[in-house]
């Protein structure tokens, strides 16, 4: 199979060349196993060498154990075809109304993947993780919290250092409510929840440092030195939910030159916004979350370290289920990168959705996915007004009231 370059718009072809160049670090016109593995690590993916070799074999048409540009283009086109199942295939809001036969036909390729979870299937067909929930009872919660504690005790000390420091410095913080958040994120799998909780504290220690990682997640606490960065409207809590009750967050790369900021400072602000929503909204804990990404206009304003660390935290540390990632109005380069992310994101790949085309086309697709224009930020073409200063004032008022109660 060869590439019909005449059928690819010039701008899209250039975007693929730019994306290929990001991986071809030695500039020899080929991507080998070492370069591909390094690329996976940049996306926060850990892959065995055997997995990397198999992926190269799949793309490698001339059996030289490397991927040239033509093979890379074919891989991108395959990723584009594999991502055509929209977040809600039918223009319906309940799983019962979806055409199951058509859904199975569209997803047959994915269903053969051994690492595809029930969450992934549900999110791919309906974009609806709220349909995958555990019926909670006081007895279940109590039992699972005990099992959570048992699992924590079984984790080697070297893998729970930050958690142990948190227990020592602020034991009241790691209460049953804290544990329940992680249990919900892992559908009450106590072992996975305990591991996620430990990774959460690892992330906090890494991003905040030992002086602030265990302080309250408030503007006067852990964020006291980041107040100016906190004003940057990069990671935004929209305050609204989609048709499935899943909370929506908005990441604005396009309006913010994130290369001007320390990636750790931005990540601290992301964790602040996310954590305050999770602690105060049990529906998010139970139903999951959708993240809409307004991609950069140019790679020159894109801080890849921010993307990598935010994705790592959401996937492995945050006490929340990620229902879907939406790429809104992506440029050619970032549309290509979203396709690549589908390949590199492992089981999360089926949840990465690209909403491109004209404004009318984008919002028609979003509406079919259960998201009306009033739930999309103005900057991305919607009517939802996001006022960062107001958000921070309101959060500060809440934090000060909580402080008075202590």
DSSP assignment of 236-258, as one string?
EEEEEE-TTS-EEEEEESSS--G
pLDDT digit string, tens, across residues 175-217 = 999 999 999 999 899 999 999 999 999 999 999 999 999 999 9
Q: Span 263-275, mean pLDDT?
A: 97
Q: Is residue 332 included in any domain, yes or no?
A: yes
The span from the CA of 226 to the CA of 229, in Å, is 5
The answer to whether the CB of 368 falls within 8 A of the CB of 88 is yes
Q: Is residue 193 included in any domain, yes or no?
A: no
Q: How many residues in total does the chain contain?
A: 406
Which among 9-13, 65-69, 157-161 has the top mean pLDDT? 157-161
Residue 44's pLDDT is what? 55
Residue 83's pLDDT is what? 41
Residue 46 has pLDDT above 70, yes or no: no
Q: Is residue 286 included in any domain, yes or no?
A: yes
Q: Give percent of the chain above pLDDT 70.
A: 80
- Mean pLDDT lowest for which of 41-55, 87-101, 107-121, 125-139? 87-101
Last residue of one domain, picked from the residues 60, 82, 104: 82
Q: Is residue 30 included in any domain, yes or no?
A: yes
The total of other beta-carbon atoms located within 10 Å of residue 316's CB is 14
Task: Report the CATH number at residue 239.
Answer: 3.40.525.10
Burial class from Cβ neighbours inside 10 Å (0-12, 13-18, 19+) for residue 276 reads: middle
Q: What are phi and psi of 60, to 5 degrees?
A: -75, 110
Task: Report the CATH number at residue 64.
Answer: 1.10.238.10
Q: Is residue 210 included in any domain, yes or no?
A: no
Q: Is residue 264 included in any domain, yes or no?
A: yes
**Domain total of the chain:** 2
Q: Is residue 106 included in any domain, yes or no?
A: no
The answer to whether the CB of 66 falls within 8 A of the CB of 29 is no
Residue 153 has pLDDT above 60, yes or no: yes
Residue 244's pLDDT is what? 84
Task: State how far the alpha carbon of 210 is from the alpha carbons of 6, 169, 249, 261, 294, in Å.
Answer: 56, 11, 28, 21, 33
Residue 92's pLDDT is what? 36
Q: What is residue 377's DSSP assignment?
A: B
pLDDT digit string, tens, across residues 303-351 = 888 988 998 899 899 999 888 889 899 887 777 766 666 665 555 666 7
**Sheet strands (E) in 50-104:** 67-68
Q: Determine the structural domain holding residue 68 and report its residue range.
A: 5-82
Instruction: Name the residue with higher pLDDT: 382 or 45.
Output: 382
pLDDT digit string, tens, across residues 217-238 = 999 999 999 999 999 999 999 9
Residue 85 has pLDDT above 80, yes or no: no
Q: Is residue 61 included in any domain, yes or no?
A: yes
Residue 149 has pLDDT above 90, yes or no: yes
Last residue of one domain, picked from the residues 36, 62, 82: 82
The span from the CA of 81 to the CA of 73, in Å, is 12
Last residue of one domain, picked from the residues 42, 65, 82: 82
Tokens 């660390």 sit on residue: 309
CA angle, residues 270, 301, 376, in degrees to nearest 5: 55
pLDDT digit string, tens, across residues 306-315 = 988 998 899 8
11: which 2 tokens?
A: 């701008």
Q: What is the pTM of this model?
A: 0.77
């Amino acid at each position: 199979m060869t590439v019909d370059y005449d059928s690819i718009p010039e701008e899209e072809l250039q975007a693929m060349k730019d994306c290929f160049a990001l991986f071809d670090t030695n500039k020899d016109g080929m991507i080998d196993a070492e370069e591909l593995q390094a690329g996976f690590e940049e996306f926060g993916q850990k892959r065995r060498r055997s997995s990397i070799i198999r992926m190269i074999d799949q793309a490698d048409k001339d059996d030289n154990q490397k991927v040239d540009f033509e093979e890379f283009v074919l891989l991108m086109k395959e990723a584009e075809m594999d991502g055509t199942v929209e977040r809600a295939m039918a223009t319906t809001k309940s799983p019962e109304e979806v055409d199951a036969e058509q859904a199975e036909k569209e997803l047959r390729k994915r269903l053969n993947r051994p690492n595809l979870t029930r969450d992934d299937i549900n999110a791919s067909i309906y974009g609806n993780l709220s349909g995958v929930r555990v019926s909670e009872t006081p007895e279940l919660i109590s039992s699972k919290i005990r099992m959570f504690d048992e699992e924590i005790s079984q984790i080697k000390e070297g893998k729970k250092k930050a958690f142990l420091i948190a227990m020592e410095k602020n034991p009241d913080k790691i209460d049953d409510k804290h544990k329940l958040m992680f249990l919900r994120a892992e559908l009450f799998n106590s072992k996975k929840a305990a591991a996620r909780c430990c990774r959460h504290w690892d992330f906090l220690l890494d991003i905040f440092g030992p002086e602030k990682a265990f302080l309250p997640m408030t503007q006067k606490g852990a964020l006291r030195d980041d107040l100016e960065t906190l004003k940057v409207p990069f990671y935004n809590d929209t305050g609204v939910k989609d048709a499935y009750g899943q909370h929506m967050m908005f990441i604005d790369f396009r309006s913010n030159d994130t290369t001007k900021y320390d990636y750790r400072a931005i990540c601290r602000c992301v964790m602040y916004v996310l954590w305050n929503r999770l602690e105060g909204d049990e529906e998010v804990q139970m139903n999951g979350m959708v993240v809409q990404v307004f991609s950069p206009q140019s790679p020159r304003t894109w801080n890849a370290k921010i993307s990598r660390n935010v994705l790592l935290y959401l996937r492995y540390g945050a006490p929340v289920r990620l229902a879907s990632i939406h790429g809104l109005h992506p440029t050619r380069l970032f549309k290509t990168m979203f396709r690549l992310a589908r390949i590199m994101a492992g089981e999360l790949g089926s949840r990465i959705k690209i909403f491109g085309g004209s404004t009318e086309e984008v919002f028609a697709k979003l509406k079919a996915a259960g998201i009306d224009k009033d739930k999309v930020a103005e900057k991305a073409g919607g009517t939802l007004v996001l006022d960062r200063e107001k958000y921070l004032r309101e959060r500060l008022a809440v934090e000060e009231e909580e402080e008075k109660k202590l």
